[in-house]
Amino acid sequence: MLNQLKAKILERKAKIGIIGLGYVGLPLAVTFAKNGFKVYGIDIDKDRVARLNRGESYILDVQQSELKDVMDEGLFSATNDFSRIKELDAVIICVPTPLHKTREPDVSYIVSAVGNIKKYMKRGQIVVLESTTYPGTTEEVMLPVLESDGLKEGKDFYLAFSPERVDPSNEKYNTKNTPKIIGGISKDSTELSKLLYEQAIDTVVPVSSSKVAEMVKLLENTFRIVNIGLVNEIMLMCHKLGIDAWEVIDAAKTKPYGFMPFYPGPGVGGHCIPVDPIYLSWKARVHGFEARFIDLASHVNSQMPHHVVDKAAEALNKNNKPIKSSKVLVLGVAYKKDVKDLRESPALEVISLLKKSEADISYYDPYFPYLKIDDINLKRSKLDANTIKRFDCIIIVTDHTSVDYELLVKKAKLIVDTRNILKDFGNKKNIVRL
């Protein structure tokens, strides 16, 4: 059976299912399809499935033409029907892994996906989890379910973890050319999963276990959140000392070794950096270990929206305006520039804090015509010269490249720049940097 499966993979006859067609799953599905595999995308969202089957891509990193090409060749289709799993040789899980309100991991989407796989599972299948989670999930949560009726991992099926590495809108690195980590429960699972991914991805890096693979992803994002927390604290310190933090970082990065530049900002957002390290911190606490760096960095970063609003209030006061009733425009609400994604965006907290300060809030973001945050419902503002002049303060939270910053600097009364996007305009009186 093992050799038959290897042959099907090498001959591109293996059928692949991707459960979850979001920022991770859809690019992966299209990448496998472009390399000659028959791929079934499985998602519970009926609207997503309908759009994909019409050839519409809703993911920035998947071009409409790419999607249409693989569909025209009969290599990709989307469905809500989990029974298609019976036909597959490999099933890859790319579902969300959010946090509960208690800041504990929510693996319910993984549990649901594994339940559906088990329901329609056949002998000889490869099952890979890509969703970011705490070390031990593949072995402790998935394996018992898949082995519950007597099937044995490494003999009857093959189970592995391969952490997603997706950076939306990154023009240099994509699914195909970003190295892929793979760690199986058994040696055969690692070998088979590696062979599968090697057919579509340039570099595949095997590790000794699924736990190691799970930890790799958490280390990558913990590295980022800790360094972002550090540079945000340095920025706050520089503010107290009357030093330009951006100038300090630019000078420090001239050192050709031993320093990697990170930049301050209004907080951290997205589906990985604010969430993944909390998974690791939670798992550490379960084992009686306190992850102090992670917890401190998370605290520092979570306070940055408060600093942004305080900075705006301070700047308005200098212009003899209280923040209460001032017309404030939040410029950019996506968590990252040029990406249509609101998940964990610090802009949402900034808007909530402005509301508590009783500011008159508006927003502009080219990707979101409407915005709903709890009881706040907003329609996108214009960003023309006449509109800009009406605001008492504009807070740049997300620095989308499509914005006319020259017009903004010319017409705005006051700008709080949290991204240093206006650095080339010099020390204009109407620009306040974070």
272 is catalytic: yes
- What b/e string do you get for 307-344 counting C-beta neighbours within 10 Å, with b at 16 or more? bbbebbbebbeeeebebeebbbbbbbbbbbebbebbbb
Q: Are 105 and 138 in contact (CB under 8 A)?
A: no
- The one catalytic residue in 94, 238, 272, 393 is 272
Task: Tell me the backbone φ, ψ of residue 85, rounded to 5 degrees.
Answer: -55, -30
**DSSP β-bridge partners for residue 327:** 360
Could you tell me if 323 and 360 are in contact, meaning their C-beta atoms sit under 8 angstroms apart? no
Within 20-158, where are the H helices? 25-34, 46-53, 64-72, 108-120, 137, 143-146
Three-state SS at 321: coil
Residue 272 phi, psi dihedral angles, 5° rounding: -120, -65
Which residues have CB under 8 Å from 43's CB, separation 6+?
19, 20, 21, 25, 49, 78, 80
Task: State the DSSP code for 183.
Answer: E
DSSP designation for 141: I
Residue spans of alpha helices (H) in 256-338: 276-286, 292-302, 304-318
Residue from 230, 303, 227 nearest 266 by CA: 303
On whether the CB atoms of residues 307 and 229 are closer than 8 A, the answer is no
3-state secondary structure of 134: coil
In one-letter notation, the amino acid at residue 273 is I
- Could you tell me where the beta strands, DSSP code E, fall in 198-331? 204-206, 327-331
Residues in contact with 84: Cβ distance below 8 Å, sequence separation at least 6, in sequence order: 17, 40, 42, 120
Strand 204-206 versus strand 180-184 pairing type: parallel
Which positions are catalytic? 272
